Amino acid sequence: MGLRRALARLAAAAEAPVFPVIGAGGRSVAGEIALLGGVRVVDSPRAANVLLVVGGITPGLLAPLLQVHDQLPTPRATVWWPGEPVEHQDLRTVLGEVVVARPGDGDTLRGVFAELVGGGRLSDPPALPDDEPAEWRGVGPYGQGGTGMTGGVPYGRPLAKRSPDPDGLELDQLPLRIGPMFPPLPPGLILDIALQGDVIREVAVGDNPFLGHPDGPAPAGLDTALFLEAARRPQPVATIELARARHHLRWAAGTLRLHGLASESLRVLRLARALRPEHALEVETLARRLRGRRSLSWATRGVGVVTPAQVGFGPVARAAGVAVDARLDDPAYDGIGFSPVVNDGGDARARLRQRLAEAAQALDLANRAGARVRQPGPALEGPRGPLSAGEALPSAALVDLLPRLLVGQEWGDAMTTVASLDLDLEEAAAGARAGAPA
Amino acid sequence: MAAFGAALTVVVAVGLGVLFTRWIGLALDSATLTPPERVPFLGGGQPEVHAWSRFHVRYYAMALLFLAFDMEMVFMYPWAVVFVEEGAVALAEMLMFIVILLLGILYAWREGALEWA
Amino acid sequence: MRWSSPLGAVVLVAGVLSAGAYVVAVLDVALGRLTAAGHLRLRHALRQPLDETALLLLTRPSRTERPDAQAWALAPALLGAMAAAAVATVPLGRGIAVADVADGIVLFGAAMAMVMVAVYLHGWSANSPMPLLGGYRFIALALSYEMPLALVLIAAALPAESLSVGAIVASQHDLWNVVRQPLGLPLYLIAGAGLAFWGPLDTADGPDLAGGTTAEVSGPSRVAWELARRFVLVAVAVMGAAVFLGGWQGPMLPGPAWMALKTLVLLAGLVWMAHRVARVRLERFVVVAWTVLIPLALVDVFVSGAIAL
């Protein structure tokens, strides 16, 4: 009909709403998605028309992916950036009309969207079978009845049960399993939360979906791949520090987006993409600007305090006041004026300042190091903590810390805390295999 | 009265207008959804219970405080209209009223009713 | 046509709200791009809201497993209707007012209180955890900003000796309230941003809840909700322009042009604030609203009262 065609012509010119799903090896490209022209990253699959899968899908991520795919409204399409090598599940066998493209290829993405809206491409059919996900057991015709005041399975799901609370009131406790593709959380993190009101009463970390592959995640796919490589082979100090600054800026962009500063986050991502050692002044200005942004300080002050006893390495410990840094014992950093940046407080605000300051410092070091090359041997300070042969990777310890940190926190604070720890579930899975990959 | 009538008309009309945008879309495409397409979004998992529950509204103490202040608002509205006529007496009386209520806020703040985590 | 006749009223209010909502959307895109990339791209910003609306109208509306379908459908309509009630009380020019009743401020306050109901319904009806949390967190915020909002409007009503918005505008013929009552406009804008759960006060639809009350909303339902939300923001700006910036009064240009200009200034300020100020921590904001904002608003009331005597 004429109205539909008119609307379709307008809609094809809109920015494609994309819901990204980051799989194995996809974290390094994740920072590029928001910067693609004509693409808008959205917070919920219901707001999206294109599902962008980046990286490989392990068996643990497959069922959630199919579920999220079905939660996109029609007209929907799926684009996959598998990267090399395609060793995990081939999505084309499970999802049908998946468009495979090179990572970072925004033109294919926009092309798929334009075809989808213009009518040249059919919408993806649902991936999961047309069955009720939960059986309507119970006594009555709507599944109600059974034991207890709220017994039975009305419309297929039970009702929440009451539970005591330190408040003194026994009200319902919602058990939630926020899955591996929940945007405020790092990709792959599954939390089993018991929520009473908007405060978290119990939390457990679900099984790491990146552990599905028999040999563990390929170290080349991690976003700290360059650092793992540098732990084994000689690398110029400038390259390492540049990668560190880029990593911290990308993390900062994610945090800014979580706190409602979406356009600022795009600006930081743009800076991170084009980062060179000459940009040290810009990064310093950015760090100062965000430090002075009082609303951001206000939103993160006192949230998620981590003491040095809980975590004794990496930016998390340095933000709690402990000057522990593997670069102190590294001869490659002698004589270029390196001293660890330290903040105090150990809360999310301190961690934000810490990483921004470290990014500025990293560029400064990259400028001063010149052509100096680092030899492998001593432990290498990665962006999350020290990487040395035979020891677990930093993310594993940080993930173990979560249950203790999150209990008793209100929802918004919990999301801020998780984001401020800079977790990578893939790195935690790689670290869970015996020590760092050789 | 005509003014209220006009306001009511406007309210109903805009409400219907907003509903109309929804109806345009529904008219264009109204197929049914499969059950997996209707699962609430939780990042890929299945929900274990219905979300409807006896939610623990932890800010109930603040809500009670709000009730008290809302009643104060009811008194301030007519006070604002006759204030200039009545002069300084009106100012003093309302000041006393407000100070008593402010003591309520102070108490609530010290007792921690304004924070709940 | 007479603006208090039914047809005239609907045309006026619908026109103001629609034009205002479009302006908000354009400003949002333009200021967002300015912050993100340093340039404006105005033509893109002018097209983008229309294109996005068209895309959403073509997308299928989502349903959840057991929602309250009627409430979910009516929530955006209620939100938009309350914005319309608010705009109806404001005179947009000399003699151009739909319902400049003797207690316009009270009507505005009542309409803005119903906003809380609309947002909560939108969150609750989906029967999904994220929207539910968004709805409840919004109520905590709403209960906190209602008081400063009502108090600063009362402070503006004191010199006018009347609760009607027209009288308040008339009382500013020699001096605008933003000068006479400096605390008024900042407090009003904070509370107003909360009313439309905009920017720093976006506890209902924020990214930390995966979209909050809009997490399960797609397609034309999303159009309805976002439109209604922008209507509320426009209503806040229109009322603010009337009560604090002198309304339709001003030299040379006709009344409605001045109203449009002043409303535009406030809208630009509100949209800019959304791109520059991080989202508040809910508990902290509640404490600040009750222990700082309400006392400031009360100071505003009493100082204005003392001056008006």
C195-244 confidence digits (pLDDT tens): 999 989 999 999 999 999 999 999 999 999 999 999 999 999 999 999 99
Q: What is the distance in angstroms between the Cα of C38 and the nearest Cα belonging to chain B?
A: 34
Angle (CA) A384 A388 A390, round 5°: 120
Is residue C61 helix, strand or coil? Answer: coil
By CA distance, what is A418's nearest residue in C?
C208
Separation CA A42–CA B41 (nearest Å): 13
> Is A187 among the domain residues?
no
Whether A354 and A219 map to the same domain: the answer is yes
pLDDT-derived band at A137, boundaries 50, 70, 90: low
In the listed set A101, A118, A135, which residue is the last one of a domain according to the structure?
Answer: A118
Angle (CA) A344 A345 A350, round 5°: 80
Separation CA B5–CA B9 (nearest Å): 6
Q: Which of C 104-163 lie inside 8 A of A, CB atoms?
A: 129-130, 133, 136-137
Is A132 in CB contact (< 8 Å) with chain B?
A: yes
- What is the pLDDT averaged over residues C28-55? 91
Q: What is the DSSP string of A322-369?
A: ----GGGG-GGGTTTT------SS-SHHHHHHHHHHHHHHHHHHHHHH
> Is A138 among the domain residues?
no
Please report residues of B whose CB lies closer than 8 A to that of C161: 81-85
Whether A79 and A218 map to the same domain: the answer is no
User: Are A299 and A416 in contact, with CB atoms under 8 Å apart?
Assistant: yes
Separation CA C206–CA C198 (nearest Å): 9
- The domain total for chain A is 2
pLDDT at position C1 over 50: yes
Q: What is the distance in angstroms between the Cα of A68 and the nearest Cα belonging to chain B?
A: 5
Pairing of strands A373-374, A380-381: unpaired
> Is A256 among the domain residues?
yes
Cα C174 from chain centre: 27
> Is A244 among the domain residues?
yes
> Is A367 among the domain residues?
yes
Chain-chain contact of B45 with A45 (C-beta, under 8 angstroms): no
Q: Tell me which of A61-75, A82-96, A386-400, C90-104 is least confident.
A: A82-96
Tokens of C97: 């007012």
User: Are A188 and B78 in contact, with CB atoms under 8 Å apart?
Assistant: no
Q: Tell me, what's the pLDDT at C209? A: 94
* DSSP H or E stretch at residue A236: strand A235-236
Chain-chain contact of C10 with B13 (C-beta, under 8 angstroms): yes
Tokens of B86: 């009545």
DSSP designation for B36 = G
Q: How many CB pairs under 8 A join A and C?
A: 160
CA-based R_g, chain B, Å: 25
| pLDDT (tens digit per residue) in A324-379 | 988 888 888 888 888 899 998 999 999 999 999 999 999 999 999 888 898 888 88
Tokens of A182: 């929940």
| Strand intervals (E) in A59-198 | 77-81, 98-100, 161-163, 171-178, 191-196
Separation CA C48–CA A316 (nearest Å): 41
pLDDT-derived band at B6, boundaries 50, 70, 90: confident
Q: What is the distance in angstroms between the Cα of C278 and the nearest Cα belonging to chain A?
A: 5
Please report residues of B whose CB lies closer than 8 A to that of C6: 5-6, 9
**ipTM here:** 0.92
Q: What is the distance in angstroms between the Cα of C154 and the nearest Cα belonging to chain A?
A: 29
Number of Cβ within a 10 Å radius of residue C299: 13
Separation CA A208–CA A191 (nearest Å): 10
| pLDDT (tens digit per residue) in A193-244 | 999 988 999 999 999 988 866 555 666 677 888 888 888 889 999 999 999 9
Chain-chain contact of A67 with B58 (C-beta, under 8 angstroms): no
* Averaged pLDDT score across all residues of chain B: 88
What's the CATH number where A314 sits?
1.10.645.10
> Is A228 among the domain residues?
yes
Q: Which of C79, C101, C124 sits opposite B4 (nearest CB)?
A: C101
Structural domain boundaries in chain C: 6-308
User: Are A33 and A109 in contact, with CB atoms under 8 Å apart?
Assistant: no
Question: Phi/psi at A380 (nearest 5 deg)?
Answer: -100, 135
What's the CATH number where A12 sits?
3.40.50.12280
Is B97 in CB contact (< 8 Å) with chain C?
A: no
Please report residues of A whose CB lies closer than 8 A to that of B42: 176-179, 182
Chain-chain contact of B29 with C210 (C-beta, under 8 angstroms): no
| Structural domain of A232 | 212-432
pLDDT at position A135 over 80: no
Please report residues of B whose CB lies closer than 8 A to that of C131: 51
Q: What is the distance in angstroms between the Cα of A267 and the nearest Cα belonging to chain C?
A: 4
pLDDT at position B21 over 80: yes
Is B35 in CB contact (< 8 Å) with chain A?
A: yes
Predicted model pTM = 0.94
Is B33 in CB contact (< 8 Å) with chain C?
A: yes
Question: Omega into B78 within 30° of 0, i.e. cis?
Answer: no
Tokens of C36: 């993100």
Please report residues of B whose CB lies closer than 8 A to that of C109: 73
**Which ranges in A142-279 belong to alpha helices (H)?**
225-230, 237-258, 262-273
Chain-chain contact of C59 with A7 (C-beta, under 8 angstroms): no
Whether A113 and A238 map to the same domain: the answer is no
Q: What is the distance in angstroms between the Cα of C262 and the nearest Cα belonging to chain A?
A: 26
Is residue A53 helix, strand or coil? Answer: strand
pLDDT-derived band at C95, boundaries 50, 70, 90: confident
Q: Tell me, what's the pLDDT at B29? A: 66
> Is A284 among the domain residues?
yes
Number of Cβ within a 10 Å radius of residue A370: 11
> Is A130 among the domain residues?
no
| pLDDT (tens digit per residue) in A49-102 | 999 999 888 888 999 999 999 999 989 999 999 876 656 778 888 887 888 888
Neighbours of chain A (3+ CB pairs under 8 A): B, C
Q: How far is CA A386 from CA B40, C155, C294, in A?
A: 40, 60, 50
User: Are C178 and C184 in contact, with CB atoms under 8 Å apart?
Assistant: yes
Q: Which of C55, C61, C65 sits opposite A11 (nearest CB)?
A: C55
pLDDT at position A437 over 60: no
